[in-house]
C-alpha cells in the first residue's frame, strides 16, 4: 500500500525540512569557522589568547557568540506572527531575509561589525526552524508526528554538516567570507520551495473557525501558562548544554587538544549518521515508550556527552561530541511532537517562539558561563559544574502529561486537562471546531504573557 500523502515523508514536510537545512547552513557558520573569523579580525602583532589559542581573547569571542545567540530572541515576534499570517508566508519570508543578512555579514570590516550584521539575520533563521517544526507537525497525524519532527531535525543537521564540508574542502579558497556569502545564493532556491509548500489544513481550519482578534505578542491562554513555563525551563536546560557542546567543540579540539582539522571534519561528518541514528531512535522511543521518557533520556545523554567531551583527551573530544549529538538528536522528535501536542493550534507557533527564546537564553547563558569558567578553572571543571545539574533537571519532564496518543487539539480545555502520570491523553480529532462563544475557547479562557 502506498504511503498517504500526509505521511512524514510528504512533499510539504520535506520542503519545510529543506528550509530548515538552509537555516542550519547559515546559522552554523560562526561555530564552524570560528578560528578563521578570529584570525581575520585579530591583531597579528599580539600573542594568541593563552587559553583558547585564538587571535582574539576568549572573553571577546564568547561575548560575540552570546550576542549572536541572544539575537534569536527576536524570533518570538516572527514565529508568533505565523499564528496570524500563516505558516507558509512566515517560513518563506524569514528564510529569505535570514540568508541575505548572513551573506551580508561577509562584508564586515571588524569582528563587532560581523557580530552585528550576522545577529540581524539570526532571528529570521531561528524563526524558520521553529515554524518549520510546527508546520511539519500540523501536516501529519499523530502516528507520523515524531517522524515529521525527525525529518525537520535531519534537515537542519544536514545544513550544518554541509557548512563543515564546505569549510574543509574549500576553506583555503573561500575563507570565512566566501563561506558566509554562499548562504545568500540559497535564496535562488526559494521559488521552488514556494511552489511545494502548502498551508497545513489544521491551521487553515482553525483560522476559519476562530474570529479575528487583536494580536498580542507572545500571548497564550492563562490555563496553559504554567505548562509553558515548565516546558520553557526544560528547553532552557537542553540549550544550556548544546550551546557550549556544539559551539566550542571545534575550537577546543583544534586549538587546545591539538586535533587536526581533518579529524574534526571527519567527526563532523560522522555526526550525520550518528544524528540520523539518534533521530530514528528518538522517533521509535517517542511512539513506543512515550514522549516524556524519551525526552528525559535524550536530555540526560546530551549532558553526559558534553561532560565527556571536555574531559581533556583527543578520544574524549570525538566520543563525547558524538554521544552528546546522539542525545540531542534523540531528544528532538519526542520533544517537538510533545511541544505541538500540548497546545492548541491558534497559539502553537507562538509557543514555538517562546520555546525558541528559552533555548536561546539557555544556549547564550551556557556559552557565556562556560567561556568564563573555562578561563577561570579550566574546561573539565567547568563542564562538571554546569552540566551535571542539567542531567538532573531532565527528570522534570515527568511533571508534564504524556501526549503519545493525542491528536492536535484546537481548544484550551483539551490541552489543559490533567492526566495521571503515565496515562496517555485521550485523542481528539485534528481540526475539530470549537464554538467562538464557548467557554472552552482560547479567547474566553483569557490570555497571558509568561
- The domain that contains 196 carries what CATH number? 1.20.1250.20
Rounded to the nearest 10 degrees, the angle between the axes of helix 314-341 and helix 111-138 is: 50
Beta bridge partners of 447: 221
In-domain check, residue 240: yes
Does the pLDDT of residue 372 top 70, yes or no?
Answer: yes
The confidence band for 424, taking pLDDT boundaries of 50, 70 and 90, is very low
Encode pLDDT of 287-311 as tens digits.
889 999 999 999 999 999 999 998 8
In-domain check, residue 306: yes
In-domain check, residue 380: yes
Does the pLDDT of residue 432 top 60, yes or no?
Answer: no
Rounded to the nearest 10 degrees, the angle between the axes of helix 261-288 and helix 314-341 is: 30
Encode pLDDT of 404-413 as tens digits.
877 765 554 4
In-domain check, residue 156: yes
What radius of gyration, in Å, describes the C-alpha atoms of the chain? 21
In-domain check, residue 208: no
In-domain check, residue 256: yes
Does the pLDDT of residue 258 top 90, yes or no?
Answer: no
In-domain check, residue 366: yes
Give me the number of domains the chain comprises. Answer: 1
Other beta carbons less than 10 A from residue 322's beta carbon: 21
Cβ atoms of 32 and 158 within 8 Å: the answer is no
Mean pLDDT value across the chain: 80
Least confident window among 13-17, 58-62, 415-419: 415-419
Give, for 448, the enclosing helix (H) or strand (E): strand 447-448
Which three cell numbers mark 440? 472552552
In-domain check, residue 205: no
Q: Identify the domain containing residue 270 by its residue range.
A: 11-200+219-426
Please give the Cα distance from 182 to 99 (Å, whole number).
9
Amino acid at each position: 500500500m502506498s504511503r498517504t500523502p500526509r505521511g512524514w515523508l510528504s512533499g510539504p514536510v520535506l520542503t519545510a525540512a529543506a528550509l530548515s537545512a538552509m537555516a542550519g547552513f547559515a546559522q552554523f557558520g560562526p561555530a564552524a569557522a570560528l578560528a578563521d573569523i578570529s584570525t581575520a579580525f585579530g591583531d597579528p602583532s599580539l600573542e594568541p589568547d593563552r587559553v583558547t589559542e585564538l587571535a582574539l581573547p576568549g572573553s571577546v569571542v564568547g561575548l560575540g557568540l552570546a550576542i549572536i545567540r541572544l539575537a534569536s530572541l527576536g524570533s518570538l515576534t516572527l514565529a508568533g506572527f505565523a499564528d496570524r499570517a500563516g505558516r507558509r508566508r512566515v517560513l518563506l519570508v524569514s528564510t529569505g531575509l535570514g540568508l541575505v543578512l548572513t551573506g551580508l555579514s561577509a562584508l564586515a570590516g571588524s569582528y563587532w561589525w560581523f557580530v552585528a550584521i550576522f545577529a540581524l539575520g539570526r532571528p529570521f533563521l531561528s524563526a524558520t526552524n521553529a515554524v518549520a517544526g510546527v508546520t511539519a507537525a500540523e501536516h501529519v497525524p499523530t502516528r507520523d508526528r515524531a517522524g515529521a519532527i525527525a525529518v525537520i531535525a535531519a534537515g537542519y543537521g544536514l545544513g550544518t554538516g554541509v557548512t563543515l564540508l564546505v569549510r574543509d574542502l574549500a576553506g583555503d579558497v573561500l575563507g570565512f567570507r566566501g563561506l558566509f556569502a554562499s548562504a545568500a545564493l540559497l535564496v535562488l532556491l526559494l521559488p521552488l520551495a514556494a511552489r511545494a509548500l502548502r498551508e497545513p489544513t489544521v491551521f487553515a481550519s482553525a483560522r476559519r473557525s476562530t474570529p479575528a482578534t487583536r494580536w498580542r505578542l507572545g500571548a497564550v491562554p492563562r490555563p496553559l501558562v504554567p505548562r509553558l513555563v515548565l516546558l520553557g525551563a526544560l528547553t532552557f536546560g537542553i540549550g544550556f548544554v548544546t550551546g557550549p557542546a556544539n559551539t566550542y567543540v571545534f575550537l577546543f579540539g583544534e586549538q587546545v587538544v591539538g586535533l587536526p582539522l581533518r579529524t574534526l571534519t571527519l567527526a563532523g561528518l560522522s555526526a550525520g549518521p550518528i544524528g540520523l541514528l539518534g533521530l530514528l531512535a528518538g522517533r521509535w522511543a517517542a511512539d513506543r515508550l512515550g514522549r516524556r521518557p524519551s525526552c528525559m533520556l535524550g536530555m540526560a545523554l546530551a549532558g553526559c556527552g558534553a561532560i565527556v567531551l571536555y574531559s581533556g583527551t583527543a578520544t574524549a573530544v570525538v566520543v563525547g561530541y558524538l554521544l552528546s549529538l546522539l542525545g540531542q538528536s534523540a531528544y528532538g522528535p519526542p520533544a517537538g511532537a510533545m511541544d505541538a501536542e500540548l497546545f492548541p493550534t491558534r497559539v502553537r507557533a507562538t509557543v514555538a517562539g517562546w520555546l525558541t527564546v528559552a533555548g536561546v537564553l539557555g544556549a547564550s547563558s551556557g556559552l557565556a558561563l562556560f567561556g568564563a569558567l573555562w578561563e577561570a578553572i579550566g574546561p573539565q571543571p567547568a563542564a562538571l559544574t554546569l552540566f551535571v545539574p542539567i542531567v538532573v533537571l531532565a527528570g522534570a519532564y515527568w511533571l508534564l502529561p504524556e501526549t503519545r496518543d493525542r491528536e492536535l487539539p484546537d481548544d484550551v480545555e483539551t490541552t489543559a486537562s490533567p492526566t495521571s502520570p503515565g496515562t496517555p491523553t485521550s485523542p481528539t480529532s485534528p481540526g475539530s471546531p470549537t464554538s467562538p462563544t464557548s467557554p472552552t475557547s482560547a479567547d474566553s479562557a483569557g490570555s497571558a504573557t509568561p
